[in-house]
Amino acid sequence: MSKTERDAAKARTAKARAGKARAVKEPVTEMPVTEMPVEETPAAGGPVATALVAEAPLAQAPASGTVAPDVPAAGAGRESDGQRAGRLSVRKTYKLYIGGAFPRSESGRSYVVTSSTGGFLANASKASRKDARDAVSAARKAFAGWSGATPYNRGQILYRIAEMLESRRAQFAAELADAGTERAGEAVDAAIDRLVWYAGWSDKISAVAGSANPVAGPYFNISAPEPTGVVAVVAPDDPLLGLVSVVAPVIVTGNTCVVVASERAPLPSITLAEVLATSDLPGGVVNILTGSVKEIAPWLAAHMDVNAIDLTGVADEDLAVTCEQAAAENLKRVLRPSAPDWSADPGTRRMTAFLETKTVWHPTGL
C-alpha cells in the first residue's frame, strides 16, 4: 500500500468514526458563530470595507463529513488537479481570515506558494500592516465574549474544531503532502489529538495554576489565572501540527489571537480557518494572516493593543530580537523563539505563558 493509499484508507475509517460521533446529541448549546458585521470594521473606509467582504458565506462552508475523503473539495491548484475525468477542477482562492470573514489583503497583494517540489499551488494573500491592524481590532473585539464564555463552552468548541478537522482529514493530508510534510496523515491525526488534549484543559487549568492562599490574617484570598488578552502568534513552519500546537493553548484559556501563518506553507492555515469558521468559534477569536513574517511580525510586536507575542515561528534571530525590543514598548509578554518537538507532550507552558494571575482578597468576619 502506498502512502497516499494508506492515508486515504485511514480517512475513510475516520469518516465512519466522525459519522457515528455526529449522532451523539450535544447536551449544551454551543456558542453561535458571531459574524463580524462588515460595517463595523474598525477604521473602515474605502478599500478596506470592500476587502473584508467574505465572498463565500460562512454558512455555506462544507458541513462535516460531506467532503469525500479522497477528493479535496475545494482543491488548490495542486499538481494532480484538473486531470480527473477530463473535468477542470474549481480552484480555491486562499484569502486571509479576519473577524470570522475571509477577506483578501487590503493591499491587493499576493504571493506564489509552491509545493515542496516547486510546482505552483496558489497565490496566497500577502497581508499588510493594515490587515494586521484589522486583525488586532477583530481580536480585541472578540476578547470580552470569548474570555467571558464558560470554560466548559470553550472546551466544547475546541473539541468541535477537532471534530471538524477529523472530517476533513484527507483534505489536510493532501495539502500537507503538497507542502512537503512527511507522513502527512499522521500529522493530521496528531493535530486532531492535540486539539482534543487542549480542549480538556479549559476547565482544569485554573485548578492547576490557581491557589487558595493561607494568608496570616482574617482574609479570604484566592488566586486564579486569567487570559492575558490579545496574543500575536508567529506560527512555526510545521503547517498544521505546529500551527495547532501554538494556537490551541492560546485560545483555550480565553485569549484571542492574530496568527502569522508559516510563510513557506500557508495554505493549510487558511484551510484550518475554514474548519474554525464551522466550529462555533466566534469570529475574531483566531485571525490568520499569510504573507511575509519579516514584514508583519514587527507591526504586531509594536502594536499597542496586543498584550503578548509568541515568537515561536521566528527563525531569523535578528528579527526575533527586533520583535522582542518592539514588544517592550507596552511590556508585552514574550514567548521567545524555539524549535520544539511537536510530537512531544506539550505540558502547560504554552498556556501559562499567556495567563495572568489575579489575586482577590476579602475580609472574613461577621
Residues that bind other proteins (CB under 8 A): 208, 211, 213-217, 219, 221, 223, 228-229, 307, 317, 320-321, 324-325, 327-331, 333, 349, 356-363
Least gap, CB of 359 to other proteins (angstroms): 5
Least gap, CB of 207 to other proteins (angstroms): 11
Residue 94, CA atoms < 13 Å, CB-side half-sphere: 29
Least gap, CB of 87 to other proteins (angstroms): 53
Compute the C-alpha angle 12/13/17, nearest 5°.
115
Q: Which three cell numbers stand for residue 366?
A: 461577621
Beta bridge partner(s), residue 112 = 123
Least gap, CB of 228 to other proteins (angstroms): 8
Neighbours of 321 (CB within 10 A): 14
Query: Judged by CB, which is closer to other proteins: 84, or 204?
Result: 204
Cell 481570515 belongs to which residue? 97
Least gap, CB of 329 to other proteins (angstroms): 7
Least gap, CB of 363 to other proteins (angstroms): 5
Question: What is the spatial distance between Cα 366 and Cα 96, in angstroms, rounded to a whole number?
Answer: 57
* Helix then strand then coil, % of the chain, to nearest 5: 45, 15, 40
Query: Judged by CB, which is closer to other proteins: 251, or 320?
Result: 320
Classify 301 as helix, strand or coil. Answer: helix
Question: What is the spatial distance between Cα 248 and Cα 179, in angstroms, rounded to a whole number?
Answer: 22
Question: What is the spatial distance between Cα 329 and Cα 363, in angstroms, rounded to a whole number?
Answer: 37
Question: What is the spatial distance between Cα 308 and Cα 318, in angstroms, rounded to a whole number?
Answer: 19
